[in-house]
Amino acid sequence: MAPPVRNLKNQNFWQLKNECMKTGALYEDPEFPASEESLFYSKSPTEQIEWKRPGELCDDPHLFVDGVSQHDLHQGKLGNCWFVAACSCLALRQTLWNKVIPQWKRQEWDPKEPHRYAGIFHFKFWCLGEWVDVVIDDRLPSIDGSLIYCHSNVKNEFWSALLEKAYAKLAGSYEALDGGSSADAIVDFTGAVAESVDLTDDNYRVNIIEQTKLFEELLKVYRRGGLICCHIKAPSFRDTEKVTPLGLVKGHAYAVTEIKKVSLGEKTLCFGKTSKLFMVRMRNPWGNREWRGAWSDESEEWKKVSEYEKRQLGLDLQNDGEFWMTFEDWCKNFTHADVCRIINTSILSRHKTWEKGEARGKWTKSEEVLLNRSGGCFNYKSTFFQNPQYMFEIKKEEDEVLVSLQQQDQWINKSRKGDRFIIGFEILKVEQNRQYRIHKMHGQERAASSPYMNLRSIVLRKTLKKGRYVIIPTTFHPGTICDFILRLFTDVTSEFRELLLDKPSVTCWSILWGYPQRVTQVWIQKVEGVQQEGRTQGTDLYITVKCESERVKSEVHKNTTNAVFDMKAIFYRKRLNVPIAVQVWGSSILCDQFLGQVLLAASPNDPKEEQILQLHNKDGQAAEEMPGRITVKIVSSDDLHDL
């Protein structure tokens, strides 16, 4: 089922086009007019800019000429190399650009039906979890009859210029695209999850093993439809667009257009005795200025590659901005890479399928403390747990999870860029049976913590052990108001959901069955010296914790007399005179054997430690000897908001 699409400014493309066709007038967009306000928000043009339609710039205009190619894009006077690099990546994947340029054949100029041309086009972008349809007219900024911003190398091809205009409308103006992130643009084109890789890490620059692992990972991402960009971070603003001795531009975005193992026959050039050379093909959005090192267009190294292999590579030794380099040189010369994964959630796939959990949320302010949803990062102990909280479960022994937190773009009056907030998230391992929000840190484990940065998206990959977890997305400082989307990807279904309740609800049944008077957390740490009757070796041990009508069971520990359980459970107790029973069982194929228990009575609030495990005989009487011990911690409170 296709995801729902929201029309930007409530402009419906087909409705507007039909109205134009009825009147015979070409469309003029009132929401993004052909005027200075659509070009700039902080300055005025220094040259006379004319807005012209494609038919006024050339004969026989088209969206596409000979299909879509990464060579169709050339950066203009705008400092948006990041956007053009992202478009170059997009051009490589037809299934992706078909979403961004919907029903392009019906939008294409048709010389057989010229009456269907109405000067109106539309594009779709992924914005904070939903697809947004952006309508534009085709009046484009030009000087002396030539486009001044993004354009194709073919004069009568206009998909790149029109796509740029739609993206500028989404941002508020063309100037708003002056400086940005290729990863952000790719996410807007695809809904991908973008992860940044710091190539200055010595592991990638000098460690061949780590370098090879990274290559294999990027090759896998690329083969599965992912998009990759990279850049060289400029040490200062003054160094931006300075060219290195080997021809690369600092502070400038490049698109990775191919990752491949190139066959070199019997030659040994890189990585030991391999006959394959790890290679990366790059494209400069300027359409010129290429790499001048090994394997550049005019390099002697290409003589070592067979003509067949060159044809397989589509090698074109022209000054078109596209060039090859070894992966080793790539790691040494670029400082950062943006790896955008197209997460596969389809069940009909031969590749790895991820299970997705997704929630759109908001950090807000409130006068009521418990309703305040903007509590700041973990440094703010008194307000941290007032942030939104989301629970998920790892059902395998361990699973690699991928978490993406994205904040809403901060546009001021829809015309200029605003600063992004510093955001991040914490992942806490919680009690096995937790159903309500956390209020204080009592025994919860900080399983993972993301970096906190003023980026639009924060991404973390982490292997977690089996259990129940809570993600708490935050801004760095309390009181920040902003929308966000949180996405979680796991190998199996995680039961991802938001924790909305602070404590059990009061219902009409509360009068009959009572309402919780106390909340108690039980932490089973370890069991020692337990042995099943009739066995000389260890036992398959597990623990159950029973409180009133609720029962929580641990994992089974195989063939042991001592086990570290590190198991937590939380109970909202109605009848305080009913003790909590911590029972030890021996697992068996035929019938599990009860080995003993410790009863935790309605005790004072002080934690109890080193409780005695009392084994029982067949008659239910306490044994004369107590051969086992169980270590238990208990925290109780009459305030249901304390845990």
Catalytic sites, residue numbers: 81, 252, 284
Geometric angle at alpha carbon 400, from 396 and 404, rounded to 5°: 125
The CA–CA distances, whole Å, from 474 to 208, 369, 480 equal 37, 16, 9
Best CA proximity match to 394, nearest among 442, 447, 350: 447
Q: First vs last Cα of the chain: how many Å apart?
A: 41
Residues 6 or more apart whose CB falls under 8 angstroms from that of 431 comprise 468, 521, 568, 569, 570
Token reading at 56 = 């006024």
Q: How far is CA 162 from the centre of its chain?
A: 28
Are 523 and 634 contacting, i.e. CB atoms less than 8 angstroms apart? yes
Q: Which residue is it, tokens 């009848």?
A: 575
Residues 6 or more apart whose CB falls under 8 angstroms from that of 590 comprise none
Instruction: List, in sequence order, every beta strand (DSSP E) within 579-627.
Output: 580-586, 593-600, 612-613
Separation between Cα atoms, residue 538 and residue 587, nearest integer Å = 11
DSSP secondary structure letters along 204-271: HHT-HHHHHHHHHHHHHHHHTT-EEEEE---SSGGGTTPBPTTSPBTT-EEEEEEEEEEE-TT---SS
Instruction: List residues bridging with 17 in a β-sheet.
Output: none
Backbone φ, ψ for residue 520 (5° rounding): -130, 130
- Give the residue ranges of DSSP H helices in 35-174: 36-39, 54-57, 81-90, 94-100, 104-107, 159-171
Q: Which residue is it, tokens 């620059």?
A: 205
- Pairing assessment for the beta strands 355-363 and 227-231 based on DSSP bridges: unpaired
Are 491 and 400 contacting, i.e. CB atoms less than 8 angstroms apart? yes
